[in-house]
A and B are shown apart, each in its own frame.
Chain A
Amino acid sequence: MLSGRTLVIAVPFAFLLVFFLFPFFIVGKISVSEMETVSFKDLLTWSDGVVTLALKFSNYVFITQDTLYFKTYVASLQYALATTLLCLCIGYPFAYFMARARATLQPALLMLVMLPFWTSFLLRVYAWRGLLTEGGWVADLIIASGLDQLLYAFGLISTPGKLMHTPFSLVLGMTYTYLPFMILPLYGNLAKLDLRLLEAAADLGATPWVAFWKVTVPLSKAGIIAGSMLVFIPCVGEFVIPELLGGPETLMIGRVLWDEFFSNNDWPMASSVAVVMVLLIIVPLAIFSKYQAEAQEQK
């Protein structure tokens, strides 16, 4: 007879082992398999009493040597990093002012940040297409204000006046989508800040500006890390946003994986790309898990 405790742990544990962890090993295995016409060869073959282990590392050799792949990895990391920084620049002041708003207003402000979560992410990304293509509200505004010249000067768009399918529209779409993931942990952190520390800093002669950088920001480090990881990691492998808002020159690794799998039907290659993607995010992932575990223990 199993005890309740064993069951409570074992059921979700088994589910995650079978459907989350185990599949990664299969991907690893397939990434070094030989591709056959419709399937992939077994790694171990048994012929004439001899077991042969056929490992094919050519996918990895190709991935590391082909400049297109290399450029895609670098570009994915760059776009993810740019998005994370933008989210931080917009989200930190946002979360800060939310946390300083009147206490009675704060639940409503929080609800307003969470509400877009409930409305389809796909549809909101699609909506940006309408806003950014020629004649769209935001496109008109940007062109009328001359901002497109600035974007052009920075190389974010290739022709002034054309905003869609550029690095600009891609980063804008990702910033838009992931901004709440930055705001929520930051708000959770900043709302708990002990205001007496700021008063103490002021009493000791710090200007508000100095107190902000020397007291508030260091104390919100955990929120900054959590928010940044929540934005950065999914952005690296993002598929839907680059597909809908990106252009032919904005290559991202999620799209490459998708094309290898759905267009080229090259499953071993898609698996290799997936393995490399996991390797790219494993360090931020470890930082995130560690932070998440610590945050849960502290409560």
Chain B
Amino acid sequence: MRRRGTGVAFNRWFGRGWLGLGYLFLYLPIVALVIFSFNDSPIPNVWRGFTLKWYAALAKDTEMLAGLWLSVKIAFLTACGSVVLGTLAAFALVKYKRFSGRTLFSGMVTAPLVMPEVVVGLSLLLMLVSVQRALGFPERGMLTIWLGHLLLGVAYAAVVVQARLHDLNPQLEEAAMDLGARPHQVFWLVTLPMIAQSLVSAWLLTFTLSLDDVVLSAFLSGPGSTTMPLVIFSRARLGLNPSVNAIATLIIVVVAIGVVAASWFIANAERKRQREMAAAAHA
């Protein structure tokens, strides 16, 4: 039997305090960003009253808006490409335990997660420059940025989908096979619906990663293809800038709504699936 008393109570409060301070640390910068976007003061970190003027200024900020539009396009394409390639990579790693070069393959899938982005960006750029010298294309721009983001996105998508594939019950696929389904039918009718929610999370994660990336974009962008993070970064380098706070707040609000809606949708789908599974098990 465990002793109960002051030690336990102390532990509980110490634990709560630690968690509370930890979350405060994680969220303080986000809260500060939002609050100071409404700050009516030329000094962006000293509060002097409420204003919406930075948002009004943002609506006329063509450089930022053009960057935002380009970033959204790239992020959309990155998310779609990453989910397709990442799912293939996850499948290859989970379903096929033996093929030549598997160790190299699994290393290459996870390496971009931790590889410093300056190295990935530089190496990809130097390769693209060599290709361009030989073939005359591709020009640096949206396509090259997309390729760079795709590398990062595939790694993240593969990890997310792989985790889900591991949890799947292989008997369901075997049962479909026994009932005469062809492999592609098994994939589209059985496997895909079961991993759908991980595909949604992977899509959202890679979308936000791409929307946020500075280093790869800086290496791979060309004249006229300045993404939003590059605009923000060049302004942030010079000092504090209220327009950055305003766009930050907008992004945070949109992302928060998106994430909450997506997790609500995923949780709902999961509950429905479990109800159906339970019903099927009782039938």
Contact = CB atoms under 8 A, between A and B. Distances in A.
B176 interface: no
Contact of B122 (A9, A27, A288): A27
Interface in B163-194: 163, 166-167, 183-184
Contacts of B183: 4
B200 interface: no
A257 B122 contact: yes
Contacts of B88: 8, 11-12
Contacts of B212: 120-122
Contacts of A117: 205, 208
B85 interface: yes
B261 interface: no
Contact of B214 (A122, A229, A234): A122
B142 to A, nearest CB: 16
B127 A22 contact: yes
B110 A123 contact: no
Given A9-B99, A15-B154, A135-B43, A130 B259 contact: no
B105 to A, nearest CB: 5
Interface string B241-273: 000110010011001100100010000000000
A21 B112 CA distance: 11
Contact of A239 (B11, B117, B205): B117
B162 to A, nearest CB: 7
A190 interface: no
Given A122-B214, A127-B29, A16 B154 contact: yes
Interface in A124-162: 124, 126-131, 133, 135-138
Contact of A122 (B45, B205, B232): B232
A243 B154 CA distance: 27
A271 B208 contact: no
Contact of A124 (B18, B30, B151): B30
B221 to A, nearest CB: 12
Interface residues on B, range: 35 or more
B49 interface: no
Nearest to A230: B114
A65 B253 CA distance: 50
A20 interface: yes
B27 A123 contact: no
Nearest to B262: A118
B202 interface: no
A135 B171 CA distance: 62
Interface string A1-19: 0001100110111011101
Interface residues on A, range: 35 or more
Nearest to A138: B28
Contacts of B36: 130
Contacts of B214: 122, 239-240
B150 to A, nearest CB: 8
B66 interface: no
A271 B121 CA distance: 11
B93 interface: yes
A116 B7 CA distance: 33
Interface stretch (A44-52, A56-64, A217-225, A273-281): A273-281
Interface in A73-103: 90, 93-94, 96-98, 100-101
A204 interface: no
Contacts of B101: 13
Pick the most buried of B92, B103, B106, B184: most chain A CB atoms within 10 A of its CB: B92
B23 A112 contact: yes
B32 interface: yes
Contacts of A243: 237
Contacts of A274: 118-119, 122-123
7 contacts: A118-B204, A119-B255, A122-B236, A123-B232, A133-B45, A271-B122, A274-B118
A-B pairs, 4 with minimum CB distance:
A237-B116, A127-B29, A23-B123, A97-B15
Interface of A: 4-5, 8-9, 11-13, 15-17, 19-24, 26-27, 30, 39, 90, 93-94, 96-98, 100-101, 109, 111-113, 115-124, 126-131, 133, 135-138, 176, 179-180, 199, 202, 208, 229-230, 233-234, 236-240, 243-244, 254, 257-258, 261-262, 267, 270-271, 274, 277-278, 281, 285, 288-289, 292-293, 296, 299
Given A239-B118, A289-B110, 5 more contacts: A117-B205, A123-B33, A126-B244, A237-B115, A243-B237
